[in-house]
Amino acid sequence: MYQDLLFNFTLMGLCVFLITRLYVKLKAGSRLRLIIVMGIANGFAGILLSQFGYEIGRGISVDMKTIAVFTAAELGGPYAAILTFASMMVYRAVNNANYFYHIVSVGFFILLSSILLLRYVVHYWTRWCLMIISPLLIILIYDLLFDAITTESGLLFWAFYVLFGGALVASFLHYLLRSDAYRAELQGVKTDLSEMLNNQPGFSFKLIRSQNSFVFSVMGGQLLPHIALKPSDFLGKSIEEVTALSQETNRFLEERYVDAWNGSMQSYELSIQGGIFMTRLCPVYTNGVVTSVIGSVTDITELKEAQDRIKESEERYKVIVESSQDCIVSLTPQGEIISINAKGMSVFECDEMPPFSNLHEVLDIEDWAGWNAKFTSALSNLQVEVFETKFSVKTGQTIDYYVTLSPILGADLAVVGLTATLHDLSALKRRQEADQANKAKSQIMAKVSHEIRTPLNGIIGLSRLLLNTELSFVQKDYTDKIITSSHLLLGLINDILDLSKLEANKMMLEQISFNMDDMLSEITNTLSVLMDKKHIEIILDTPAELPDLVLGDPLRMKQTLLNLCSNAIKFTEHGYVRIRVELVKQTDSALSLRFLVEDTGIGLSEVQISRLFEPFWQGNYLNQHSGTGLGLSIAYQLVSLMGGELQVESMWGVGSKFAFTLEFPIVQNCNPDSWDLTLIGGPLHVLVVEDHEVAQESLSQMLESFSCLVTAASNWSSMFKKLEEKNEVLGPVSCIVLDMEIDDMYGHYSWEELIRITRKRGIHIITLSTAYAREELLSMMKDDYPDDMLIKPISRKELFRTLNSLLYPSLKHRSEHSDSFIVKSKSIHLLLVEDNYINQQVARETLLMHGFQVTVASSGQEAIELLDTTKVDLVLMDIFMPDMDGVETTARIRCKDAFKQIPIVALTANVLKEDHDLYIASGMNEVILKPLDINQLLSAIQKWLPMKSAPAGIPLDKLRERLDGNTAIMVHVLKLFKKEYEHFTGHALVDLEEGNITKVKRDVHTLIGVARNLMADELAQAAVLFEEVLIENPAGCKTQLLEVQRVLRQTIDSIPEEIQG
């Protein structure tokens, strides 16, 4: 018996141990699986335990099988206990049916009690005590009812056994469960520590000492892979065995480890893989003895870089502060000085930090109360305060300062100080005074200019009108000199105004597209007048590669070159003045040009060159040469304003060279074919007759750039010889470019001989002469005039246009003011608003001479009244008028809907650009300066009044422009057009009669496209109407086809005969 019970105890303990292990393994998984496994496992344990018990009554045995139910309930819950009970009862029913119902009854109540206790009793030991006692109570009740236990000693023994075994199982189970909990908690702590170790941004390690070597026992952290290291590079290795680091680094680390092992806290920076790392070593003590060392490593690369940037920023700030021309003073909130920059030291007359505490001890602040108020406001309101005040320094000098007080905030956003910046206003005050003086000077100059220009307008205008009357030679000479003198005075006024603008930095450059050749041609026209009666050559050399359009200020370019050229002409009595343009470099978008004005005049000495660009300086030539001494000064400043530098080379008695280089953006590049005169008619042989070597060379180069074949002669005798010679290489001479002022030209006899030869051979003659020799030469020629006569100096573009018009006369460019505009002017009604009677007379009679209808209004009010009653096409508006000026008059005119679009052109002697902008803003369309330039006035009228529609035909000028100026291509296109469409209507009539409507539609649609490309608008419109009729009613389209035939005939007839062939 005792042996069975002992075995039962042992078996019970083993089962509890195994079931507890199984529970620990399964508790984290499925709950259902845990219930089933716990129920079956405890059922099996209960069955097993029931085999080794001691029976003390009917069905009552002393064993531990009830513990299986309790264990199942504890570990698996009520369902596991029921499953255990069911398993045991099934086994009992199958193997031993004696007392089955008694056993089932007792077991059921035991099961029920265990479930209730599990449900309602939370405390472990209370629950288990009650579960152990509950079977005793149930058995006692059962014994009282059924007298199941045979002996009292058996009952006592069973009770002791159950109580003792139950307590033992409860203790053992509690121990196992607590052990598992502690184990899990320990594992959790280890996991947490491992995660903390491996997930820290840096890395940590632990060193132990083994056989006098430091060995890494722990290593981990996220920083390791970032510096190409792994824990395995260190773990279990001594410092000497670590190969991931250099030997030098290992030796350094070992020294630090030794110091740490000796009880010293260590911190040091280490550079690994390009990064900077902070390492801290902490010794670990056990019983007062160091047993290990813990190390932690942090990446401080970004921190060091930030510190370096801060340091660099501080250095930059220090340099800025120290080099600043303002006094910069750092102050405490109490006003005590912390630091002063170098400028402050200089102002305060201190060599080092001054031994004083407050600013007022070194500066006598004029408005001390105002300073304190601003100081307090900056501190209390945390805002920057700016104000002006006066300080007196130790020298007694009083200085105006612009003061900025800026509060300085600490990390807690509390005010820790204040920075005072003192800006000396002395220079600004002087500059303002100078600006005011310049402004006053400009206003005075503008006023003087206006007052002089107004009578000049009358003088020049009336003189021009006088020239159109019958005058004697002497009267005409006097009148010419009045106009010339007036223009000289006007030029002087303009020079003084320009100098004033340049000195005041008020000169503004335009950036507009212009043609460089056109600008240079305008210069040559002006120079032909400036030459007067001097026997010198003026030569213009330009490269063939100049773009068609560049971006710049053509007005200031022309002014600069004219000033340089007029100065060269003034001081040159013999030889030549040459304007040369050289291409320095060119890209797709820009080019650099070098402008050179060279003369063979009297030259300059070194002393004269040193003062050459001073305003009003004229050297020692005041009595010999007229002028103001402003031209070169203005040219120098204009070149600087345009981004260049005017340079001069000169030798006394030899001549001078003025040069500058400018860059121009390219708007439109040059088409080389547009300058080729041989594309249409084949080779062109030109004979150049010029006695001046440099001029001859320049003319030859121009002609060769037109693809001409050039032969040169230096006098008339040589010319006649070359005309008689047969040149098999160059062919016969097609054109002669002849200087009419060569010495061996013997009057009418020589000219008559040349005319006889050239007319016999069909040779064109272009003569060259000065403006003053032109009339005499024309008189000598009688009726035998050349094909064209050019006035020196000539430009490349002027020579090209002349040759082009001689060879292809029907392609000649229209003049600026075409005949169509002159005819149109007869129907144009102009309203002249002018209060000055002389100016009225000049403008009115000039405009009447050009065919305009003119109505005059003497005031602004009269002008408004006339507009209400008279149909006017354009208004010419004076600005300065009594009662109502031009600006107010314009504003009132624009208020009326009927006059919002009428063109209004301002006429003024006021040269100030800001006033011109005001006129435009008030509603005027354009501004023209007095004295009036008739060409400029006509251009403005033509610009603002729309032209009448052109007659049927092809606009050759516009077509050439569309073809980038390529005359050869234009000729080819026009010939092809005539060939293809001369018989268009005849073919269309045949196709219509044959019913081939589709072909006619295709042909007329093609004709529409061709007409539009040729800009033959009337032909295109007629063809469009024919196409519409053809689509809607093919049978009735012949009438419109006849209209197409009429317009097509006009269009073809508009093509010049030499092109039609």
783-834 pLDDT, tens per residue?
A: 788 888 888 888 888 888 888 878 766 554 444 444 334 434 557 899 999 9
How far is 579 from 333, CA to CA, in rounded Å? Answer: 71
How far is 1007 from 1036, CA to CA, in rounded Å? Answer: 20
Element holding 918 (H helix, E strand): helix 913-922
SS3 of residue 403 by DSSP? strand
Query: Which residue did the predictor score with more confidence, 860 or 76?
Result: 860
8 Å CB contact between 203 and 222: yes
* Cross-strand bridge partners of residue 854: 830
Quote the pLDDT of residue 823: 36
Quote the pLDDT of residue 873: 92
Query: Per-residue confidence at 645, pLDDT binned at 50, 70, 90?
Result: very high
Among 152-161, 698-707, 994-1003, which stretch is predicted with the lowest mean pLDDT?
152-161
CB atoms within 10 A of CB 397: 10
pTM above 0.75, yes or no: no
| Residue 78 pLDDT exceeds 60 | yes
Quote the pLDDT of residue 831: 95
Which of 230, 214, 211, 234 is CA-nearest to residue 222?
230
Q: Quickly tell me which residue has 């086994």 as its tokens.
A: 91
Quote the pLDDT of residue 819: 39
| Residue 377 pLDDT exceeds 80 | yes
SS3 of residue 328 by DSSP? strand
Quote the pLDDT of residue 354: 58
How far is 270 from 249, CA to CA, in rounded Å? Answer: 9
Q: Is 477 left (phi over 0), alpha (psi -120 to 50) or beta?
A: alpha
Query: Which residue did the predictor score with more confidence, 954 or 353?
Result: 954
| Residue 612 pLDDT exceeds 80 | no
pLDDT, mean of residues 860-873: 92
Cβ contacts of residue 277 below 8 Å, gap of 6+? 202, 223, 269, 270, 271, 297, 298, 299, 300, 301
How far is 287 from 283, CA to CA, in rounded Å? Answer: 13
Average pLDDT, the chain: 81
How far is 880 from 839, CA to CA, in rounded Å? Answer: 12
DSSP string, 425-462: -HHHHHHHHHHHHHHHHHHHHHHHHHHHHHHHHHHHHH
Quote the pLDDT of residue 161: 66
| Residue 297 pLDDT exceeds 50 | yes
Please, what are the domains in the chain? 1-176 (1.10.1760), 183-304 (3.30.450.20), 508-668 (3.30.565.10), 684-811 (3.40.50.2300), 829-944 (3.40.50.2300), 956-1059 (1.20.120)
Quote the pLDDT of residue 699: 93
Quote the pLDDT of residue 3: 66
Residue type at 196 in one-letter notation: M
Q: Work out the percent of the chain whose per-residue pLDDT is above 90.
A: 14
Please give the structure tokens belonging to residue 15.
Answer: 């089962």
| Residue 997 pLDDT exceeds 70 | yes
What are the tens digits of pLDDT across the range 447-470?
Answer: 776 677 778 777 887 887 787 777
Which of the residue ranges 87-96, 198-207, 671-680 has the most confident prediction, judged by mean pLDDT? 198-207
How far is 386 from 776, CA to CA, in rounded Å? Answer: 78
Among 108-122, 315-329, 343-357, 1022-1036, which stretch is predicted with the lowest mean pLDDT?
343-357
How far is 26 from 613, CA to CA, in rounded Å? Answer: 107
How far is 130 from 115, CA to CA, in rounded Å? Answer: 11
How far is 1048 from 1030, CA to CA, in rounded Å? Answer: 18
Query: Which residue did the predictor score with more confidence, 605 or 126?
Result: 126
Find out whether the peptide bond into 786 is cis, omega within 30 degrees of 0.
Answer: no
Quote the pLDDT of residue 906: 94
Quote the pLDDT of residue 949: 41
pLDDT, mean of residues 203-232: 86
Cβ contacts of residue 875 below 8 Å, gap of 6+? 830, 831, 833, 863, 867, 893, 902, 903, 904, 905
How far is 72 from 76, CA to CA, in rounded Å? Answer: 5
DSSP class of residue 676 equals: -
Query: Per-residue confidence at 154, pLDDT binned at 50, 70, 90?
Result: low
Quote the pLDDT of residue 210: 84
What are the tens digits of pLDDT across the range 315-347?
Answer: 887 788 777 888 888 888 888 888 888 887 777
Among 608-612, 749-753, 791-795, 819-823, which stretch is predicted with the lowest mean pLDDT?
819-823
| Residue 1046 pLDDT exceeds 60 | yes
Q: Quickly tell me which residue has 């069973």 as its tokens.
A: 158
pLDDT, mean of residues 226-253: 84
Query: Per-residue confidence at 158, pLDDT binned at 50, 70, 90?
Result: low
Please give the structure tokens belonging to residue 734.
Answer: 């097609």
CB atoms within 10 A of CB 396: 7
Cβ contacts of residue 35 below 8 Å, gap of 6+? 76, 77, 79, 80, 83
What are the tens digits of pLDDT across the range 549-572?
Answer: 889 998 889 889 988 998 888 888
What are the tens digits of pLDDT across the range 964-975?
Answer: 566 666 777 788
Number of H helices, E strands in the chain: 37, 30
pLDDT, mean of residues 62-72: 78
How far is 117 from 130, CA to CA, in rounded Å? Answer: 7
Residue type at 947 in one-letter notation: M
Query: Per-residue confidence at 179, pLDDT binned at 50, 70, 90?
Result: confident
Query: Per-residue confidence at 857, pLDDT binned at 50, 70, 90?
Result: very high
What are the tens digits of pLDDT across the range 646-667?
Answer: 999 988 888 999 999 999 998 8
Which of 100, 191, 109 is CA-nearest to residue 142?
109
DSSP alpha helices (H): ranges in 732-818? 747-761, 771-781, 796-807
What are the tens digits of pLDDT across the range 579-602?
Answer: 999 999 998 889 999 999 999 988
Query: Per-residue confidence at 720, pLDDT binned at 50, 70, 90?
Result: very high
What are the tens digits of pLDDT across the range 402-435?
Answer: 889 988 888 778 888 888 888 888 888 877 777 7
